[in-house]
Structure 1
Amino acid sequence: MHKIAEVEVQHDIMVANRKLARKNQKMLDNNQVYAVDVVGAIGSGKTTLIEALIDAMDHSIGVIAGDVISKYDAGRFEKHEVPVVGLNTGKECHLDAHLVEHAFHDLPLGDIDLLFIENVGNLICPVDFELGSHMRMVVISVTEGDDTVEKHPLIFQDADLVVINKVDLADAVGADSDKMVSDVKEINPDVQVIKTSLKTEKGFDEVMGAIEIFINQD
């Protein structure tokens, strides 16, 4: 009976989160803001990628920085002179719709048109928690190992865009980036997968272009 109760509580939490996520997206739509949920493991390059997109994209951009202690990444984004809200998750390993809703109140939604939501560095916990974003971009790196996709399949099932980063280091760490692309495609055949090296700028324009296509399709 105890295990059944746990399942029921988890179900109620997920239903409530989805309801809040729909509310969040409606708020974003009312303010004509397009939101991208950026998910990836620690060290995959999420923060660096968002920084590069802030500098390169012709949009009024805002950022929500989610982390166990968010001030470090939030501070990096603030240097780019964009509105930033840091969300401390404490012991939690993901953002949820309730936390994101609170962040909206501290953002000038009327003054931005593109919002990056940097999720906590984790490929497991964020899977089931919708935030109200319009798309989810998953960022992984070859330095995590070319079996990363096989070990964390669920995060790729509903991904709208997958970035395989740090491909310039593939030989050094003995990783096969082509295998990682194939593994993603096996799970989600229609998703666009882009190989990048932010150090050499390989693939960056392609990532930026892919996000623009999603924005224009919305």
Structure 2
Amino acid sequence: MHTTEEVTIGYDILAANRKLAQNNRKTLDKSEVTAFNIMGAIGSGKTLLVEKTIAALGNRWRIGAIAGDVVASLDASRFEKLGIPVIGLNTGKECHLDAHLVEHGFQKLPLDALDILFIENVGNLICPADYELGEHKRVVIVSVSEGDDIVEKHPLIFSTADLIIVNKIDIAKAVNADADKMVRDARIINPRIDVLKMSLKTGEGFDEWVDFVKKSISLVMENQD
């Protein structure tokens, strides 16, 4: 009986979050903003990916960001230095953003003056998987330094993702990791997933990521017509 109650409560929380996420999507679509939920472990390269993307696309598109973290606002501060609208959301004891928190972030952002919104989730490969935020695309970035079995150890987050980025491939040999194995594992878990091998340090694979962002924006705009 106790177990059944816990499952029901968990389901209700996710169902309520899903409804809020749907409302968030409507808000984004009304403002014609394409949102990307960037997920990954601490140190995988989430913040640097967003920084470099802002630098690459900021002259063409109006970009904003939400930076989620358990405490502090270090990532939000990094984005602010790039001159974009940014909101830092602290989750306290929670290891993920949820749709309710993101809704509050929307209220503090000039959505009507944005084209792209990057939502950097809390550094974790487990908690964020269940919580939709209203995003148009889910992106998971992993690093070869996390071990080449990291993908098969966390199937849920990859099963819900639109894109996986295998980062830091320039050090794969040094850490005895097989980036191709990580790619294969991702495609076994999710045959429809797009996969990029990347080094944010050398720039390898970054142009393909920029193309993914551009194509995603075009698809979102087409679906709104």
TM superposition score normalised by structure 1: 0.99
Q: Deviations over 1:154-179 (max 9, x none)?
A: 11112111100000010110000010
Q: Which amino acid aligns with 1:155?
A: I
Aligned residues: 218
Q: Deviations over 1:49-95 (max 9, x none)?
A: 00000000121000000010241000000010000000000110000
Q: Which residue of 1 aligns with 2:26?
A: 26
Distance 2:193 2:32 in 1: 25
Partner of 1:173: 175
Structure 2 gap segments, 5+ residues each: 221-225
Letter in 1 for 2:179: S
Aligned partner of 1:68 in structure 2 is: 70
RMSD (CA atoms): 0.7
AA paired with 2:44? S
Secondary structure, counterpart of 2:174 in structure 1: helix
5 Å-filtered alignment, 1:128-143, equals 128-143=130-145
Describe the superposition over 1:124-150 as per-residue Cα deviations: whole angstroms up to 9, x where unpaired. 001110000001010001000000001
Structure 1 residue 190 displacement after superposition: 1.8
The aligned residue for residue 186 of structure 2 is: 184
Question: 1:161 corresponds to which residue?
Answer: 163
In the aligned structure 1, how far is the partner of 2:72 from the partner of 2:150? 25
Tell me the equivalent position of 1:45. 45
Q: Distance in 2 between matches of 1:168 and 1:129?
A: 32
Q: Which amino acid aligns with 1:38?
A: I
In the alignment, structure 1 residue 197 sits paired with structure 2 residue 210: no
- CA drift of 1:24 comes to 0.3
CA distance in 2, matches of 1:81, 1:30: 24
The C-alpha deviation readout for 1:179-208, integer Å capped at 9, x for no partner, is 000000111112110010011000000001
SS at match of 1:15: helix
- In structure 2, C-alpha distance between the alignment counterparts of 1:126 and 1:25, rounded to whole Å: 17
Q: Which residue of 1 aligns with 2:5?
A: 5
- 2:95 paired residue number: 93
Q: Would you identify which runs of 4 or more consecutive aligned residues in structure 1 move more than 6 Å?
A: none
Sequence identity percentage? 60
TM-score by length of 2: 0.96
Q: 1:43 and 1:137 mapped to 2: Cα distance?
A: 15
The equivalent position to 1:149 in structure 2, one of 125, 132, 151, is: 151
User: One-letter code of the match for 2:37?
Assistant: D
Rounded to whole Å, the distance in 1 between the matches of 2:163 and 2:61 is 19
Q: Which amino acid aligns with 1:26?
A: K
